[in-house]
Amino acid sequence: MTVQLNLPSSALGKKLDAFKTIVVFPKGILNLQNPVRTGVSGFPSITLVDTPTIANQNGSIRMALSAGTVPGSGPSTALVMPIAQIDFKAISTGTNQTISIDNSNTQIVTNDSVALPLSPPQNLTFSVSNGEPPGSSSSSSSSSSSRSSSSSSSSSSSSSSSRSSSSSSSSSSVDLSCVCNTDSTCYSSCIYTKQTNTLYANPVKCSLDPTLFRTSVPNQTNKNSWCSRQKRTMGDTDGDSVVTSLDLGYYSNAVNGFHIPAGVNPDINGDGVVSVEDRNIIIKSIP
Ligand SMILES: [Ca+2]
Ligand SMILES: [Ca+2]
């Protein structure tokens, strides 16, 4: 799952200096499988992130990220900001389980030392049956609108949220032999899952305006990754093999002038630009 901040428009145009939170999960039901990945956040310095061993003992993950010692080196604010990617595995069955954000231990501070106001985060309730991993989950803090995710119960107010997806079973959706040609198109042999009655470029392009990206322009590895995602043309902008509101968030960031990570490609129909046609495909694909 991806922990994601949704910020209000009043918070835009700033740099973030620090972020901390605690993600609480049912330790008898879920196990943190891999180290939490915070590279997607854009924060250059990790102050503290619990290891899987510690997290699984406590049923919680402490995270504290910062801009480090260089003022202004934190990420720029955007309407949707992914913070961390977390891989949970279901180890037992259970109904009405919740993954939540501990708001009393959450703080977001801008480069001018202002703490952004927090709104009640959206918690996610899920059930696990027959050892299947939860369909999705999550929550997070700060203000603004949010989409609820599948099978979830949302907390009282709108505002911040986060979104997630089960981190399992991605390998079947990736064609590693499909890469980006030197002419910036994906190999014509690439096989994509597509929406019917929708026009796609042929071949699908793997180039985008470099100003769309946050810190560095996509390299060949990033472009190969774009091409290898079978659900890319269904709306999977970030390559996690599912289409969620986070993919829509990346689209919104791109068209509203907010930067996106190098691994993200919101050009869903492969025509080389990010436009409303891409949005339409993402919306059709979100479960
Ligand atoms: Ca996705
Ligand atoms: Ca496009």
Q: Burial, 158: exposed, middle or buried (Cβ in 10 Å; 0-12, 13-18, 19+)?
A: middle
Residue 117's pLDDT band, with cuts at 50, 70 and 90, is: confident
pLDDT tens digits along 230-264: 999 999 999 988 999 889 999 999 998 888 988 99
Ligand nearest to the CA of residue 163, numbered in listed order:
1
Q: Is the dihedral of CA 183, 189, 190, 195 positive or negative?
A: positive
Ligand nearest to the CA of residue 232, numbered in listed order:
1
Compute the distance from residue 63 Cα to the ligand 2 centre, in Å: 35
Compute the distance from residue 83 Cα to the ligand 1 centre, in Å: 15
User: Are 283 and 237 spatial neighbours (Cβ–Cβ below 8 Å)?
Assistant: no
Instruction: Look up residue 2 and give its two tokens.
Output: 């991806």
Q: How far apart (Å, rounded) are the C-alpha atoms in residues 91 and 74?
A: 36
User: Are 270 and 193 spatial neighbours (Cβ–Cβ below 8 Å)?
Assistant: no
Quote the pTM value: 0.57
pLDDT tens digits along 264-277: 999 999 999 999 99
- At residue 181, φ and ψ (nearest 5 deg) are -70, 165
Q: Which residues pair with 53 in a beta bridge?
A: none
